[in-house]
Amino acid sequence: MKVVNGNSGAALADLVSRVIAGDSTAEDEIISRYQRGVSIIIDRIVKSQTDSEDVSQQAFKIIIEKLRHGDLRDPVRLSGFVCSVARNAAIDFVRRARNSRSLEEAGEAEHIPDPAPSQLDLLLSEEKASAVRRVIGELKMERDRELLFRYFIAEQDKERICAELKLTSAQFNNVIFRAIARFKELYVRRIGQ
Protein backbone atom coordinates (compact mmCIF):
# COMPACT_ATOMS: atom_id res chain seq x y z
CA MET A 1 0.00 0.00 0.00
CA LYS A 2 1.54 3.27 -1.08
CA VAL A 3 1.03 5.99 1.45
CA VAL A 4 -0.63 8.95 -0.11
CA ASN A 5 -0.28 12.04 2.02
CA GLY A 6 -1.97 14.32 -0.39
CA ASN A 7 1.33 15.94 -0.93
CA SER A 8 1.96 15.69 -4.57
CA GLY A 9 4.76 17.73 -5.94
CA ALA A 10 2.41 20.25 -7.54
CA ALA A 11 0.38 20.72 -4.38
CA LEU A 12 3.48 21.24 -2.26
CA ALA A 13 5.00 23.64 -4.79
CA ASP A 14 1.80 25.62 -4.74
CA LEU A 15 1.78 25.73 -0.96
CA VAL A 16 5.37 26.92 -0.77
CA SER A 17 4.90 29.54 -3.43
CA ARG A 18 1.90 30.87 -1.54
CA VAL A 19 4.00 31.23 1.59
CA ILE A 20 6.66 33.08 -0.37
CA ALA A 21 3.93 35.30 -1.74
CA GLY A 22 2.95 36.21 1.83
CA ASP A 23 -0.23 34.15 2.05
CA SER A 24 -0.85 33.71 5.80
CA THR A 25 -3.44 30.99 5.20
CA ALA A 26 -0.73 28.97 3.48
CA GLU A 27 1.44 29.41 6.61
CA ASP A 28 -1.46 28.22 8.80
CA GLU A 29 -1.95 25.29 6.51
CA ILE A 30 1.68 24.29 6.85
CA ILE A 31 1.53 24.57 10.62
CA SER A 32 -1.67 22.58 10.88
CA ARG A 33 -0.38 19.96 8.45
CA TYR A 34 2.94 19.30 10.24
CA GLN A 35 2.20 20.30 13.82
CA ARG A 36 1.56 16.82 15.32
CA GLY A 37 4.41 15.16 13.48
CA VAL A 38 6.82 17.93 14.44
CA SER A 39 5.67 17.59 18.06
CA ILE A 40 6.51 13.88 18.01
CA ILE A 41 9.97 14.54 16.60
CA ILE A 42 10.69 17.31 19.08
CA ASP A 43 9.09 15.57 22.03
CA ARG A 44 11.23 12.50 21.45
CA ILE A 45 14.36 14.66 21.78
CA VAL A 46 13.25 17.23 24.38
CA LYS A 47 11.26 14.76 26.55
CA SER A 48 9.00 17.44 28.05
CA GLN A 49 5.49 18.31 26.89
CA THR A 50 5.74 21.98 27.85
CA ASP A 51 9.21 22.51 26.42
CA SER A 52 8.20 20.57 23.34
CA GLU A 53 5.45 23.08 22.57
CA ASP A 54 7.87 25.99 22.95
CA VAL A 55 10.41 24.34 20.70
CA SER A 56 7.67 23.55 18.17
CA GLN A 57 6.70 27.21 17.98
CA GLN A 58 10.31 28.14 17.53
CA ALA A 59 10.73 25.52 14.82
CA PHE A 60 7.69 26.67 12.88
CA LYS A 61 8.89 30.26 13.16
CA ILE A 62 12.12 29.21 11.50
CA ILE A 63 10.34 27.07 8.91
CA ILE A 64 8.01 29.91 7.85
CA GLU A 65 10.83 32.45 7.75
CA LYS A 66 12.98 30.18 5.62
CA LEU A 67 10.08 29.43 3.28
CA ARG A 68 9.34 33.16 3.00
CA HIS A 69 12.91 33.78 2.03
CA GLY A 70 12.74 31.01 -0.55
CA ASP A 71 15.40 28.89 1.14
CA LEU A 72 13.61 25.67 0.12
CA ARG A 73 14.53 25.23 -3.53
CA ASP A 74 12.72 21.90 -4.07
CA PRO A 75 9.13 22.07 -2.66
CA VAL A 76 8.83 18.25 -2.91
CA ARG A 77 11.41 18.11 -0.12
CA LEU A 78 9.14 20.13 2.21
CA SER A 79 8.56 17.26 4.68
CA GLY A 80 12.27 16.54 4.90
CA PHE A 81 12.95 20.23 5.36
CA VAL A 82 10.36 20.49 8.16
CA CYS A 83 11.83 17.43 9.92
CA SER A 84 15.32 18.80 9.62
CA VAL A 85 14.38 22.17 11.13
CA ALA A 86 12.41 20.47 13.91
CA ARG A 87 15.32 18.18 14.83
CA ASN A 88 17.80 21.03 14.78
CA ALA A 89 15.55 23.21 16.94
CA ALA A 90 15.13 20.41 19.46
CA ILE A 91 18.83 19.61 19.52
CA ASP A 92 19.63 23.31 19.88
CA PHE A 93 17.19 23.56 22.79
CA VAL A 94 18.75 20.58 24.55
CA ARG A 95 22.24 21.97 24.01
CA ARG A 96 21.20 25.37 25.41
CA ALA A 97 19.59 23.63 28.36
CA ARG A 98 22.81 21.77 29.08
CA ASN A 99 24.80 24.98 28.82
CA SER A 100 22.36 26.66 31.17
CA ARG A 101 22.87 23.87 33.69
CA SER A 102 26.61 24.35 33.36
CA LEU A 103 26.18 28.09 33.91
CA GLU A 104 23.93 27.33 36.84
CA GLU A 105 26.67 25.30 38.37
CA ALA A 106 29.04 28.18 37.67
CA GLY A 107 26.55 30.67 39.13
CA GLU A 108 26.13 32.69 35.91
CA ALA A 109 22.76 31.53 34.63
CA GLU A 110 20.16 34.20 33.84
CA HIS A 111 17.34 31.86 32.87
CA ILE A 112 17.31 28.19 33.60
CA PRO A 113 14.58 25.95 32.19
CA ASP A 114 12.90 23.93 34.90
CA PRO A 115 13.76 20.28 34.28
CA ALA A 116 10.89 19.09 36.47
CA PRO A 117 7.66 18.05 34.70
CA SER A 118 4.95 20.70 34.59
CA GLN A 119 1.51 20.33 36.17
CA LEU A 120 0.11 19.50 32.76
CA ASP A 121 2.75 16.83 32.24
CA LEU A 122 1.93 15.32 35.60
CA LEU A 123 -1.78 15.40 34.92
CA LEU A 124 -1.42 13.79 31.52
CA SER A 125 0.95 11.23 32.95
CA GLU A 126 -1.58 10.28 35.61
CA GLU A 127 -4.31 9.98 33.02
CA LYS A 128 -2.17 7.74 30.86
CA ALA A 129 -1.29 5.59 33.85
CA SER A 130 -4.92 5.30 34.82
CA ALA A 131 -5.83 4.16 31.33
CA VAL A 132 -2.95 1.71 31.27
CA ARG A 133 -4.06 0.23 34.60
CA ARG A 134 -7.47 -0.25 33.16
CA VAL A 135 -6.09 -1.87 30.04
CA ILE A 136 -3.87 -4.17 32.06
CA GLY A 137 -6.68 -5.04 34.37
CA GLU A 138 -8.83 -5.99 31.44
CA LEU A 139 -6.22 -8.33 29.99
CA LYS A 140 -7.37 -11.88 30.64
CA MET A 141 -4.04 -13.56 30.30
CA GLU A 142 -1.06 -12.94 32.49
CA ARG A 143 1.02 -13.73 29.43
CA ASP A 144 -0.32 -10.59 27.66
CA ARG A 145 0.55 -8.39 30.64
CA GLU A 146 4.02 -9.84 30.71
CA LEU A 147 4.34 -9.26 26.98
CA LEU A 148 3.50 -5.57 27.31
CA PHE A 149 5.97 -4.99 30.11
CA ARG A 150 8.75 -7.00 28.53
CA TYR A 151 8.32 -5.28 25.17
CA PHE A 152 7.72 -1.67 26.18
CA ILE A 153 9.42 -1.42 29.58
CA ALA A 154 12.25 -3.93 29.48
CA GLU A 155 12.58 -3.28 25.73
CA GLN A 156 13.33 -6.92 25.01
CA ASP A 157 13.50 -8.22 21.43
CA LYS A 158 10.22 -9.24 19.87
CA GLU A 159 11.72 -12.55 18.75
CA ARG A 160 12.96 -13.39 22.20
CA ILE A 161 9.61 -12.60 23.80
CA CYS A 162 7.80 -14.68 21.24
CA ALA A 163 10.18 -17.58 21.81
CA GLU A 164 9.92 -17.47 25.57
CA LEU A 165 6.16 -16.92 25.70
CA LYS A 166 5.60 -19.37 22.84
CA LEU A 167 3.86 -16.84 20.60
CA THR A 168 3.86 -16.33 16.88
CA SER A 169 4.64 -12.91 15.47
CA ALA A 170 1.00 -12.49 14.49
CA GLN A 171 -0.15 -13.32 18.02
CA PHE A 172 2.33 -10.86 19.36
CA ASN A 173 1.12 -8.12 17.03
CA ASN A 174 -2.48 -8.85 17.94
CA VAL A 175 -1.77 -8.43 21.65
CA ILE A 176 -0.03 -5.12 20.99
CA PHE A 177 -2.72 -3.95 18.60
CA ARG A 178 -5.53 -4.78 21.04
CA ALA A 179 -3.74 -3.10 23.92
CA ILE A 180 -3.09 0.06 21.92
CA ALA A 181 -6.62 0.16 20.59
CA ARG A 182 -8.14 -0.31 24.04
CA PHE A 183 -5.77 2.21 25.55
CA LYS A 184 -6.59 4.75 22.90
CA GLU A 185 -10.26 4.23 23.49
CA LEU A 186 -9.97 4.70 27.24
CA TYR A 187 -7.49 7.55 27.08
CA VAL A 188 -9.37 9.53 24.46
CA ARG A 189 -12.51 9.00 26.48
CA ARG A 190 -10.81 10.48 29.51
CA ILE A 191 -9.10 13.50 28.03
CA GLY A 192 -11.13 13.98 24.88
CA GLN A 193 -9.76 14.44 21.41
Partner 1 sequence: MDHKQIEQSDLIDRYLMGQLSVDEQEQFEEHFVDCAVCVDRLTTTKDLIQGLRHVASHQAAEREAYLPAPIPWYSRYRLAPKWWALASGFLLLIALSAAVIMFNRARLSSTQADQARSDSAEWQRRYQQERESAELAGKKHKETEDELGGRLNELRKELDNNRKKAPGELRPGSRGRTITPQANVQIVILNSTRGSDPRSATNNVHLPISPTNFLLLLALEGEAPHLDYHMSLLDDRGEVILQRGGFRPNEKNSLTFLMNSSLFRPGYYSVRVEGVDAGAGRSIIGEYYFHVTKDL
Q: What's the half-sphere exposure (Cβ side, CA atoms, 13 Å) at 45?
A: 22
DSSP state letter for 140: -
Q: Which is nearer to partner 1, 37 or 70 (CB)?
A: 37
The span from the CA of 125 to the CA of 119, in Å, is 10
Q: Is the four-CA dihedral 67, 70, 75, 78 of positive or negative sign?
A: negative
Q: Which is nearer to partner 1, 43 or 53 (CB)?
A: 43
Task: Please state the closest distance from residue 6 (CB atom) to partner 1, in A.
Answer: 8
Residues in region 81-110 near partner 1 by CB under 8 A: 82-83, 86-87
Residues in region 11-70 near partner 1 by CB under 8 A: 33-34, 36-38, 40-41, 43-44
Which stretches of the chain are DSSP H helices? Answer: 9-20, 24-46, 49-68, 78-106, 119-138, 142-148, 158-165, 169-191
* 67, 16 Cβ separation under 8 angstroms: yes
Task: Please state the closest distance from residue 106 (CB atom) to partner 1, in A.
Answer: 31
Q: Which is nearer to partner 1, 103 or 121 (CB)?
A: 121
Q: Which is nearer to partner 1, 36 or 69 (CB)?
A: 36
The span from the CA of 120 to the CA of 124, in Å, is 6
Residue numbers at the binding site for partner 1 (CB under 8 A): 1-3, 5, 7, 33-34, 36-38, 40-41, 43-44, 79-80, 82-83, 86-87, 125-126, 128-133, 135-136, 148-149, 151-153, 155, 158, 173, 176, 179-180, 183-184, 187
